[in-house]
Structure 1
Amino acid sequence: MNSLKNYKGLYYAALILLLWGANLWYFLHYPVRFDDPLIYLGLLIQTHLYTGVFITAHDAIHGVVMPHRPKVNYGIGWLCATLFAFNNYNKLSSKHHLHHKHAASEQDPDYYAGNFFRWYLKFALEYVTVWQIVLMAITYNLLKLVFPMWNLILFWEVPAILSTLQLFYFGTYLPHRGEHDPSDKHKARSQGLNHWIAFFSCYFFGYHHEHHAYPYLPWWKLAEAKEKTESK
């Protein structure tokens, strides 16, 4: 049993990557008609799976995808960050640890004391690089030789953009905006206890205070941590 528990993070990572790849492959071949409701359902599913890919990279940053195999943990994190619009895993890791160390302060690269739109722009510019844009453009033009343009836009590009909004809104903006209890060193709040909403909104990262309090917990254990917080 301990052996299975040691590989649980790997199983979840593999499942998310498999579903992300399978859904993308299916809809890259699917005939696009804008009166077809399945198009929009597929786009939403792909957005959620993109978020899962990033969450897996995030868990690797905390070393919890495969804690006993650091090189494998790093490899999974690097792969997921790369699949998510060619993000630089090492840069993500460095800035995310600064976020935890200096949450909701001037030293926090994810924080901005302003309105939603300016904050999101600052958040995006903090991570997006010229090389990412170049690599995305090259990849798009290569993929366009094989797949229809609208399929690429709807199921490869748009879900990635929507996913950044999902991650920002539920995982950064809502938890860290506004004033915080001075005694709370994490400067993070959590959404109400509802596991269905928490999972589909952002893989339980709406339970954000719990994540900052217990950064060694993988995403699927944050629900249990929230239950313990509510029972106190």
Structure 2
Amino acid sequence: MSGRCTRQLEAHKHVSSPHYAAFYVATAPFRRKYLLSPPYTMGLKTVEFSSEVIKLWERQYHLPQEVDGDFRTHKDKVHLYRPPRSDRPGIIVACTVLGCWAALFIHALWFIKLPWTSENPSSWLHIAAVFFSLEFLYTGLFITTHDAMHGTIALRNRRLNDFLGQLAISLYAWFDYSMLHRKHWEHHNHTGIPLADPDFHRGNPNLLLWFGQFMVSYMTVPQFLKIAAWSNVLLLLGAPIANQLVFMTAAPLLSAFRLFYYGTYVPHHPPKGHVGPMPWQVSRSSSASDLLSFLTCYHFDMHWEHHRWPYAPWWQLPICRQLLRQAVAGDAATGGGGSGGGRGAAGLEPAGAEPVRVAAAAAVVAAR
């Protein structure tokens, strides 16, 4: 059946435009049903295919809140980015992170000899290299879960998407995936609003106080029971408790601070003297190179782009940033509208006259 329909689609690629338009309308239900297979979109524009995918995403998740006329949202630029045409890349990226973490985790727990537990310890260089590499991969586990909460691992297969996200967060620290999912979308729907945004500070934006409140809000008793059970299983399998404390406790805690600092504190920290909400429109984004951004926190520091295009996987956020840069640079060069800031101070300025908008656009381009 599928092969016959594919041949029919191929045959219609060469018919006249009116006949092809009629065929396109008639086969709309078929194409929606088989969104998983790019061959069924023969002769269709990428934009048309991606629009269907975005509609599928919108039925399950939420677009960011915005007010018409607020130039800081770049609402007129939202069409520039389109999600991947297939789930395959997202699944491969997620499984690669999981696989690399698992391999290094096994090495760290069973093959590293710590100086205070062995007469023939591993070198400090070896220990440090494994520790920081594993910490980076722990960060990757959380980023994988974060992508799953946005449906961007497997946008067209919600069950597989959520399974990979739940697996990643369980290996990270046995957090409750359902609770994380709910609170994360509260953050997106009420970004920067005290008490409504669970990730925002409670009145004091001090780094350590904010981090402590952030961590406590996600911890649960069942989580600690699961960690204890998991630790005992590993102990029975021969993983020393000292290795568990270093590589299964200290490493993910450092990873949690990295994630909080680059994904919450820096993007959403209010500037000096600012009182009140910090909506997503003013969240800061990194101006670092793509490589440095990846090494920093898997592009989690490209935060404005993440809020603007919540259906973009982490590994495509540099594409989002580049598209915005080009578009805003074009606006600034021509003196056109639709400019504004996805970064800090520029974004906090009220929408005003055209010169202000063009100046803000130029500032964004320079900062990014």
State the alpha-carbon separation in 2 of the partners of residues 151 and 185 from structure 1. Answer: 40
Equivalent residue number for residue 225 of structure 2: 134
Matched, 1:111 2:200: yes
Q: Which amino acid letter does the alignment assign opposite residue 95 of structure 1?
A: K
How far apart are 1:184 and its partner, in Å? 6.0
The answer on whether the counterparts of 1:104 and 1:187 sit within 8 Å (CA) in structure 2 is no
How far apart are 1:185 and its partner, in Å? 4.6
State the alpha-carbon separation in 1 of the partners of residues 112 and 94 from structure 2. Answer: 29
Which residue, 291, 296, 299 being the options, matches 1:201?
296
Equivalence map 1:83-98=2 (5 Å): 83-98=171-186
Q: Which amino acid letter does the alignment assign opposite residue 262 of structure 2?
A: F
Equivalence map 1:209-220=2 (5 Å): 209-220=304-315
State the alpha-carbon separation in 2 of the partners of residues 220 and 149 from structure 1. Answer: 35
State the alpha-carbon separation in 2 of the partners of residues 61 and 31 from structure 1. Answer: 34
How far apart are 1:150 and its partner, in Å? 2.1
Q: Which amino acid letter does the alignment assign opposite residue 309 of structure 2?
A: Y
Report the TM-score, using the length of structure 1 for normalisation: 0.93
Q: Which moved more, 1:2-11 or 1:130-139?
A: 2-11
How far apart are 1:193 and its partner, in Å? 3.5
Aligned length: 232
State the alpha-carbon separation in 1 of the partners of residues 139 and 288 from structure 2. Answer: 21
Aligned-pair identity in percent equals 33
**Inter-CA distance 185–131: structure 2 relative to 1 (3 Å threshold):** closer
Q: Which amino acid letter does the alignment assign opposite residue 106 of structure 2?
A: W
Q: Which amino acid letter does the alignment assign opposite residue 196 of structure 1?
A: L
Equivalent residue number for residue 148 of structure 2: 60
Matched, 1:21 2:102: yes
Choose 1 or 2 for highest CA Rg: 2
Q: Which moved more, 1:142-151 or 1:3-12?
A: 3-12
State the alpha-carbon separation in 1 of the partners of residues 288 and 239 from structure 2. Answer: 42
State the alpha-carbon separation in 1 of the partners of residues 208 and 112 from structure 2. Answer: 34
How far apart are 1:158 and its partner, in Å? 1.5
Gaps of 5+ in 2: 1-36, 40-84, 116-122, 329-368
For the aligned residues, what is the CA RMSD?
Answer: 2.1
Q: Which amino acid letter does the alignment assign opposite residue 63 of structure 1?
A: G
* CA shift digits 1:149-178 (9 cap, x unpaired): 222122222111111111100100000001
State the alpha-carbon separation in 2 of the partners of residues 193 and 32 from structure 1. Answer: 37
Q: Which amino acid letter does the alignment assign opposite residue 18 of structure 1?
A: G
* CA shift digits 1:122-159 (9 cap, x unpaired): 10011011111122122223322311122212222211
Gaps of 5+ in 1: none
How far apart are 1:192 and its partner, in Å? 1.0
Which residue, 159, 169, 190 being the options, matches 2:261?
169
Matched, 1:178 2:273: no
Report the TM-score, using the length of structure 2 for normalisation: 0.60
Equivalent residue number for residue 161 of structure 2: 73
